Amino acid sequence: MPYDSYLHIFLPDELNQENTEQTLTEGKQGVERNHEIQGDPSRLQSVSEKNSNGICTDNFNLSNSGSNPLPTENSTLPSPENSSSSFFPLTSMTPLMPVTPVSESSGIVPQLQNIVSTVNLACKLDLKKIALHAKNAEYNPKRFAAVIMRIREPRTTALIFSSGKMVCTGAKSEELSRLAARKFARVVQKLGFPARFLDFKIQNMVGSCDVRFPIRLESLVLTHQQFSSYEPELFPGLIYRMVKPRIVLLIFVSGKVVLTGAKERSEIYEAFENIYPILKSFKKA
Amino acid sequence: MNNTAASPMSTVATSSSGRATGKSTSFTLELQSMMFSLGDARRPLHETAVLVEDIVHTQLINLLQQAAEVSQLRGARVISAEDLLFLMRKDKKKLKRLLKYMFFRDYKSKIVKGIEEDDLLEDKFSNSSNVNKRQKIAQDFLHSIDQTGELLAMFEDDEIDDVKQERMERAERQTRMMDTAQYAEFCESRQLSFSKKASKFRDWLDCSSMEIKPNVIAMEILAYLAYETVAQLVDLALLVRQDMAPKAGDPFSHAISATFIQYHASSESTAACGIEAQSDAIQPSHIREAIRRYGHKIGPVSPFTSAYRRNGMTFLAC
């Protein structure tokens, strides 16, 4: 999937802005600044040293104009365990993860389906102006006090509020969510607002997978009463509230499992590894 | 309800109107499926379903009228959740079950909303104060009528609901023996409810003649109460049937309580008796006997009160 890394240059991050503005004294913004400095160069760096640490799993397709100073290169193969989204974040803030987070027990890796993130553009926005001039923007102030904007790549939706706060949903990985959020911010910026990119935070991650055997939910709800609720008249799945990690799992008779409530990818994997032996013991013969 | 070829209901003779009424909407088929999921045989009897439908309908109409009276008392224009909660205030266990249902509904919408992107937007559109709205309504109302503090204590109370527990155990026993196809059928039956067929339910209830009508949440609660009534009827009918089953060679069989028998039937070697009882469908006579016993209030002063004077209907659901 196309990865427009030119954004790092053209979208002013905190570093560039500081040269033109007053010195920022707020500690919070200082932290954000550090994050940005660390984030971008390491990302650019890892593009070139993709093979050295052996942890390159992204499919970069830098199809952009000639003005891009970055070397255009394609990365190597996708990760061995699956061909769909396994877009591991390459910033130095996140710990390096093993390429295949598969333990011996299950052999199944949950796929991320949706990431919800928020970011603060830190400036007041004129929603009407945005709706009028931006493509793919909806604004119906009588119904809801935000602009709904969509982009195709990554396929995501943003809710943009007049306060400058923005919610971004629909991405299939953390990196894509961040990328999408930056694109939305870029759109707002192009319309003349001094948009920044503060406090980007993943609020929720949803994953799903299939254990491929039917599960007897009646016995599961009986033996794990403190954690499960099963009301088939209301919802066909059993709702399992795992304590550690704090994840909610929706378990269906067919064997499909949906995991939600995670702030980090590892929580989803850990939750699934925890539930898998339990599900196996309630396999419908 | 979808009549797939695998559904046990497809072989049962159907008539769109129950024998007691000339209504155009009838829940007989759905009721048969529901009774199966609640512990009845794989093909519950049509007559039993018709009787159950009649009972549930009558009880709901009476309940609605009482709720309308309560509503009028407080000068409201619609029947709302508060009126129904007020009617249920006497039975703490059932009230607690209803509250748990309402909270679960809130919780489920919260979770599902987080998963589906479109749902998230829809929710933002409607009103973000929708989160936990049922819980808020229930808590506010109970707070206002609670004089002794015992209703509010229910929220903290973590006691196990015995009836719910028994139903779960029964379901577990029922599904243990099933193969994958039967289990899939069973799960489908379990998913049936009156709330899924909201518009049909509304027609069936036929509130058009009433001055005060129920609002959306009140309808939700009524659908839940209808389902609870069916569940109660099946619970009681199974007990009655257990009672009626003759145990050969046991001189004290008439004195042993039904729950004791039911508990031991699954593990004892009198398995023959148990299997016979299980495979038979619930008969209308079981239902009638269950109602009779339930309505027959046995209390400390009952020998001295007239059995014929009873104020109003005895509701199964509250």
Q: Tell me: the pLDDT tens digits for B168-210? A: 999 888 888 888 888 888 999 999 888 888 888 888 888 777 8
Identify whether the C-beta of residue B221 lies closer than 8 Å to the C-beta of residue B63. no
In the predicted model, is pLDDT for residue A90 greater than 90?
no
Classify each residue of B238-254 as buried b or exposed e, where b means 16 or more C-beta atoms within 10 Å of its C-beta.
bbbbbbebeeeeeeeee
CA dist B121 and A95 (Å) reads 33
* Beta carbons of B169 and A222 less than 8 Å apart: yes
Q: What are phi and psi of A144, to 5 degrees?
A: -155, 140
The Cβ of residue B13 has, within 10 Å, a number of other Cβ atoms equal to: 5
Q: Which of B115, B176, B195 sits opposite A206 (nearest CB)?
A: B115
Write down the residue that tokens 């994050």 correspond to.
A35
Q: Do A143 and B183 touch (CB under 8 A)?
A: no
pLDDT-derived band at B144, boundaries 50, 70, 90:
confident
Rounded to 5°, angle at Cα B22 from B17 and B27: 35
Cβ burial, residue A227 (10 Å; 0-12/13-18/19+)? middle
B-facing residues of A in 240-259 (CB < 8 A) are: 248, 250, 253, 258
Q: Is residue B205 part of a domain?
A: yes
Contact A170, A157 (CB under 8 A): yes
Reported CATH class of domain A211-282: alpha beta
> CB–CB of A216 and B227 under 8 A?
no
In CATH, the architecture of A117-202 is: 2-Layer Sandwich (3.30)
Residue B120 in contact with partner chain A when CB distance is under 8 A: yes
> Which of A233, A248, A261 minimises the CB distance to B193?
A233
Decide if B125 and A144 are in contact by the 8 Å CB cutoff.
yes
Residue B14 lies in a domain: no
pLDDT at B159 over 90: no
Res. A258: pLDDT tops 90? yes
Listed ranges A81-95, A231-245, B300-314; the one with the highest mean pLDDT: A231-245
Is residue B16 in some structural domain?
Answer: no
> How far apart are the CA of B115 and the nearest CA of chain A, in angstroms?
6
Question: What gap in Å lies between CA B226 and CA B55, rounded to an integer?
Answer: 10
pLDDT in tens, B212-252: 888 888 888 999 999 999 999 899 998 888 887 766 666 66
Strand stretches in chain B, DSSP E: 78-79, 213-214
Does B198 fall in a domain? yes
Size of interface A-B (CB pairs under 8 A): 83
Kindly state the average pLDDT of the residues A222-231: 92
DSSP-assigned beta bridge partners for residue A151 = A156
Specify burial of residue A264 (Cβ count, 10 A radius: 0-12, 13-18, 19+): middle
Q: Are strands A137-139 and B78-79 parallel, antiparallel or unpaired?
A: unpaired
Structure tokens at B294: 């339930």
ipTM of this complex prediction, to 2 decimal places: 0.76
CATH number at residue B172: 1.10.20
Shortest Cα distance from A164 to chain B (angstroms)? 17
Residue A18 pLDDT > 50, yes or no?
no
CA A35 to chain centre: 17
Strands A238-242 and A228-229: antiparallel
Q: Does A233 touch chain B (CB under 8 A)?
A: yes
Question: Given an 8 Å threshold on Cβ–Cβ distance, is B104 in contact with A231?
Answer: yes
Does residue A82 have a pLDDT over 50? Answer: no
- A180 pLDDT band, cuts 50/70/90, is very high
Residue B34 belongs to what domain range?
Answer: 27-115+130-244+281-305
Tokens at B287, concatenated: 């239902």
Stretch B13-21: mean pLDDT: 42
Cross-chain CB nearest to A284 (options B121, B171, B180): B180
Q: Which residue has the higher pLDDT, B7 or B264?
A: B264
- Closest-CA distance of chain A to residue B160, Å: 10
**Dist. CA B247–CA A285, nearest whole Å:** 33
Provide, as residue numbers in chain B, all residues whose Cβ is less than 8 Å from the Cβ of A113: 115
Interface residue of B178, B187, B221, B229 to substitute, partner A, most A CBs within 10 Å: B187
Average pLDDT taken over every residue of chain A = 74
The answer, yes or no, to whether residue A73 has pLDDT greater than 60, is no
DSSP code of residue B39? T
Contact A78, A56 (CB under 8 A): no
For residue B11, being part of any structural domain is answered with: no
Q: Closest approach of chain B CAs to the CA of A182, in angstroms? A: 19
B152 in a domain, yes or no? yes
DSSP per-residue codes, chain A? -B--TTHHHHS--HHHHHHHSPPP--HHHHHHHHHHHHHHHHHHHHHHTTTTSS------B----TT--S------PPPTT-SS------STTSPP--S----TTT---PEEEEEEEEEE--S---HHHHHHHSTTEEE-TTT-SEEEEEETTTTEEEEEETTSEEEEEEESSHHHHHHHHHHHHHHHHHTT-----EEEEEEEEEEEEE-SS-B-HHHHHHHTTTTEE--TTT-SSEEEEETTTTEEEEE-TTSEEEEEEESSHHHHHHHHHHHHHHHHHTB--
Which single residue is written with the structure tokens 């974040």? Answer: A89
d(CA A228, CA A206): 19
pTM: 0.70
Do A85 and A111 contact (CB within 8 A), yes or no?
Answer: yes
Between A38 and B32, residue with greater pLDDT: B32
When divided into structural domains, chain B yields a total of 1
Beta strand spans in B40-199 (E): 78-79
- Most A CBs within 10 A among B2, B30, B115, B183, hence the mutation to make, goes to B115
Tell me, what's the pLDDT at A120?
Answer: 95
CB contact under 8 A, B115 and A236: no
Residue B318 lies in a domain: no
Residue in B318, B280, B275, B261 with CA at minimum distance from that of residue B60: B318
* Residue of A117, A218, A242, A263 to mutate for B, most B C-beta atoms under 10 A: A218
- Phi-psi category of B102—alpha, beta or left, where left has phi over 0 and alpha has psi -120 to 50? alpha
Tell me the one-letter amino acid at A164. Answer: G
Domain with CATH 3.30.310.10 in chain A: 117-202, 211-282
